[in-house]
Amino acid sequence: MSGSTAAVLIVTHAAMHEHAPLHNREVPARLIAALRGVAAAQRAGVVCEVRNAEPVRDAEVLAVHAQALLNRLRDGFEQGLEQAGPEAPLAAGTWSSARHAAGAGPTAVRQLLLPGAPRRAFCVVRPPGHHASHDAASGYCYLNNAAITAAAVRSLGLAQRVAILDIDHHHGNGTEAVVGRIGSCAYASVHAAGYPGTGLRDGGEGVFNRALRRIDRRAWLQAVAELLALLDAWRPEALVVSFGTDALIDDPVGDLGITQDDLDGAVAAVVGLWPTLPLISLLEGGYSLPNLEQAVQRHVRTLARTA
């Protein structure tokens, strides 16, 4: 790699392969493709410190979710429940995968607090999380990984003002719905104006939305620039990125017409704007496996940049 680089913390767990519902695009092969991307970044010279995700703790879940949702996810499959919510099917390995995916962010926070640790982390997780609200799973999402991470940033003392930037194709309706429970947490999202039909305008204080009504990469790039300016004015002390790759050209679920250069450029802009802030990125959507692998490779390489 050219330029100055630093180690990147990678947090993942083999248990995230276990969630394998039928007739669903959110499949274990996504995790394999993402991990291939990490391996490619390592071959390109990125130093990755790999750690296993700890299962999320009940207290970390309850910082943003209702006890009833926790109970439904933990016990639902054994009780014969087929769905935890709309487009959130339950299978034998769902709870194991979801609790490790949700625990990856807090694991990263604890690691980043250690002396000499990296300042940036990428959590290679599935299932994704940004559609999960306070009391409901939906849209392939069971627990809100990004919101749980942001709450852990504050509760564990990594920072007190934390901003979540969501660049998935879809609006993180669940994240926006729970961000007010975290305290001193901003949320900014660029997304298509379709599913889930939310995020068509800014929310309350510190909630910024840019909804695109057509495939338009220039509008996407402009929206990212606007959101970064708004977050900069909000003055975050730590960053959480909901990193989806489904806005890329040819994704079978999303597609906002953006290129790999566009997606990588957005992350490079984040790194350039806040070079010293702790940053934890978490995988959200992305259903073209070749796109996902390439995007993750580039993402990890960009997170390693120091100059």
Active site residue 191: no
Concatenated DSSP letters of the chain: --S-B--EEEEE-GGGG----SS-S--HHHHHHHHHHHHHHHHTT--EEEEEPPPPPHHHHHTTS-HHHHHHHHHTTTTT--EEETTEE--TTHHHHHHHHHHHHHHHHHHHTSTT--SEEEE--SS--TT--SS--BTTBSS-HHHHHHHHHHHTTS-SSEEEEE-SSS--HHHHHHGGGTSSEEEEEEEESSTT---SS--STTEEEEEESS--HHHHHHHHHHHHHHHHHH--SEEEEEE--TTBTT-SS---SB-HHHHHHHHHHHHHHSTTS-EEEEE-----HHHHHHHHHHHHHHHTB--
Q: Is the pTM of this model over 0.95?
A: yes
What is the percent of the chain with per-residue pLDDT over 70, rounded to a whole number? 99
- Catalytic one of 65, 131, 170, 191: 131
4 pLDDT above the threshold of 90:
no
- The string of pLDDT tens digits covering residues 13-41 is 999 999 999 888 999 999 999 999 999 99
Mean pLDDT score of the chain = 96
203 pLDDT above the threshold of 90:
no
